[in-house]
Amino acid sequence: MNISRDIQTLSEFKQNASKMVKQVQETKQPIVLTVNGKPAAILQDVNSYQQMNQDNEYWETVRALKRSLESVRNGEELIPAEEVFDRISKKYGISFE
């Protein structure tokens, strides 16, 4: 992160929004927007944002799998697959048939 380039005030953003959007698209580096000298928001390019969300989903899945494996190792009772699919079906309106 280039502090002089990548940390800007909200006032500067209001005056130079197009320039800053172009900057994040080209550099792939987010800009921290400040209000009264404190971080208030992040301006980030769409592709980096989508990648960050995909990464978060991946790691959430990994953590859930680790918790499940730990439950199996600890001898906790498992939920039958049919019940799991029923719960998912009801919660998300998905049919597995």
Could you tell me if residue 68 is inside a domain? yes
Pair of tokens at residue 61 = 């899945």
Domain housing 53 = 46-75
The answer to whether residue 1 scores a pLDDT higher than 80 is no
Pair of tokens at residue 22 = 């172009």
What is the SS3 assignment for 40?
strand
What pLDDT is recorded for position 39?
A: 95
What mean pLDDT is predicted for residues 67-95? 91
What is the SS3 assignment for 65?
helix
The answer to whether residue 4 scores a pLDDT higher than 90 is no
Could you tell me if residue 36 is inside a domain? yes
**Cα-only R_g, the chain:** 22
Could you tell me if residue 7 is inside a domain? yes
What pLDDT is recorded for position 15?
A: 97
Burial of 31 (0-12, 13-18, 19+ CB in 10 A): buried
Could you tell me if residue 81 is inside a domain? no
Q: How confident is the model at residue 89 (pLDDT cuts 50, 70, 90)?
A: very high
Residues 51 and 61 in one domain: yes
CA 22 to mean position of chain CA atoms:
22
Q: Answer for the pair 6, 28: CB distance below 8 angstroms, yes or no.
A: no
**Tens digits of per-residue pLDDT, 11-63?**
999 999 999 999 999 999 999 999 999 999 999 999 999 999 999 999 999 99
